[in-house]
């Protein structure tokens, strides 16, 4: 597993297997993915959109996926990166 980043964040870039391991051991955790350069979307770690092999949102592309046990850590990260709160996933609604 990648080392924890600031505020207990764990980042995955092009590491789908590592992300799936993290999500399976942190079922109550939260995930931010970046569908576009200026947008971050907050999900529950168990969100079906992240684990659906037919949905491109599951990929931990070069932009990366950021995970944390605490929701507030990802909200703070979003403000630091984009200046705004993340959007909430319409599937899992964290």
pLDDT in tens, 43-94: 998 888 776 665 555 455 556 789 999 999 999 999 988 899 999 999 999 9
Q: Are 62 and 50 in contact (CB under 8 A)?
A: no
Return the CA Rg of the chain: 12
Q: Identify the domain containing residue 57 by its residue range.
A: 6-88
29 falls within a domain? yes
Count of domains forming the chain: 1
Provide the whole-model pTM. 0.81
84 falls within a domain? yes
pLDDT in tens, 6-35: 568 998 887 878 888 888 888 889 999 887
94 falls within a domain? no
4 vs 11: CA distance, rounded Å: 7
48 falls within a domain? yes
């Amino acid at each position: 597993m990648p080392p924890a980043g600031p505020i207990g964040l764990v980042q995955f870039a092009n590491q789908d297997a590592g992300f799936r391991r993290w999500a399976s051991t942190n079922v109550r955790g939260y995930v931010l993915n970046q569908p576009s350069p200026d947008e971050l979307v907050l999900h529950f770690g168990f969100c079906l959109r992240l684990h659906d092999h037919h949905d491109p949102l599951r990929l931990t592309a070069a932009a990366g996926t950021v995970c944390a046990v605490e929701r507030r850590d990802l909200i703070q990260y979003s403000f630091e990166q984009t200046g705004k709160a993340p959007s909430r996933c319409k599937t899992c609604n964290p």
